[in-house]
Amino acid sequence: MSATRDGDPRVPRINAAIRIVPDFPKPGILFRDVTTLLLDHQAFKDSIDIFVERYKEQKIDVVAGIEARGFIFGPPVALAIGAKFVPMRKPRKLPGEVVSEEYTLEYGTDRIEMHVGAVQPGERALIIDDLIATGGTLRAAINLLERVGAQVVECACVIGLSDLKGQEKLGGRPLFILVECEDS
Amino acid sequence: MSGSRERDSRVARIDAAIRVIPDFPKPGILFRDVTTLLLDHQAFKDSIDIFVERYKDLKIDVVAGIEARGFIFGPPVALAIGAKFVPIRKPRKLPGEVISEEYTLEYGTDCIEMHVGAIQSGERVLIVDDLIATGGTLQAAIKLIERVGAEVVECALLVGLTDLKGHLKLGGKPVFVLVEYEGA
């Protein structure tokens, strides 16, 4: 795994704290496990601090976090920058009226949902997840937010799998990655 | 606890920010939806601050959050009090070696899991979730944590439904609830 994010001295420790689990969820995949980052308080704090430093002056109204690991990183950022937090969830989890967006998987499709009224037209949104792979889920999240009239300022992920070219799916919306990894 | 009047006014705002959705997930249930609390930055921040004030001097080593809404409230508390965050998840989500605990539902059973090695024997643990109803999930989490030799100091919840007498199931472990409701 490459480590540097503009030479920030905190990034190597964040990188080192992320564990690779081979053959999960299926043979041949090297799964990047952020749960070990969460066991290193300083490294976890540093990852949040880097996001906060980047976004606190950007007038972000909403941090949208993608279920479930986006729920771990999104709220601390939202709290620090004075933004709302909006969970983007798998189907049938949110209790109120929802808007939903379908997206393609390797086999079949999935959906993500957001509560109606959580995000207002014109609001500036930051999307956070732990990892971007193909970018399909992030693209669905962007579509949902734009459908309700929000402006997606950036997508932020702790880990990016550069080989999978997820950024290409984002249609030009900016992407910020803390730790770049090669997929193989 | 100092400043109890100040705490009361914060709790009133937190209470007001939580929406009630009737007949979710099934008829007759009044579902307490914390997502609206997350849209009120001050109230969300206050809820975290109240937990942090309560736990910061209790030498908590680990905050364990129950999937998925425990992932929203647990990490900000963990970051503020200097503790690790450990996600407790539904089956087959965690990539590494896990230990799991089964628990009873109204019909059938379910299971929660934790990574082996995330919590060490002797560590002091705070469990965080958004809501306690029957206490079944929380009791399973307590068992998981005690099985690895750690000590559950307290369970902290945003919302507790007092009528369901959930507290009785937690075997003497203290339960701290920010907002209590009556009725199912």
For residue A45, the tally of other CB atoms under 10 A from its CB is 16
Tokens 């009239």 identify what position?
A149
* Cβ neighbour number for residue B14 with a 10 Å cutoff: 22
What is the structure's pLDDT at A181? 87
The model's pLDDT over A47-103, given as tens digits with 9 standing for 90+, comes to: 999 999 999 999 999 999 999 999 999 999 999 999 999 999 999 999 999 999 999
Reported confidence tier of residue B133, pLDDT bands at 50, 70, 90 = confident
pLDDT band at B183 (very low <50, low <70, confident <90, very high): low
Q: Which of B107, B104, B156, B108 is nearest to B132 (CA)?
A: B156
Chain B residues within 8 A of A25 when measuring between CB atoms: 92, 95
Instruction: Write out the DSSP string of A73-138.
Output: HHHHHHHHHT-EEEEEB-TT-S-S-EEEEEEE-SSSEEEEEEETTSS-TT-EEEEEEEEESSSHHH
Tell me: pLDDT of B37 over 80.
yes
DSSP-derived 3-state class of residue B130: strand
Q: Is A106 a catalytic residue?
A: yes
* B contact set with A (CB within 8 A): 19, 21, 24-25, 31, 33, 35, 38-41, 44-45, 48, 67-69, 71-73, 75-76, 78-79, 82-87, 89, 92-96, 115, 118
Domains and CATH numbers, chain B: 48-181 (3.40.50.2020)
Q: Which residues of B touch A71 (CB under 8 A)?
A: 68-69, 71-72
Token digits of residue B84:
């690790």
Q: What is the band of A106 on the pLDDT scale with cuts at 50, 70, 90?
A: confident
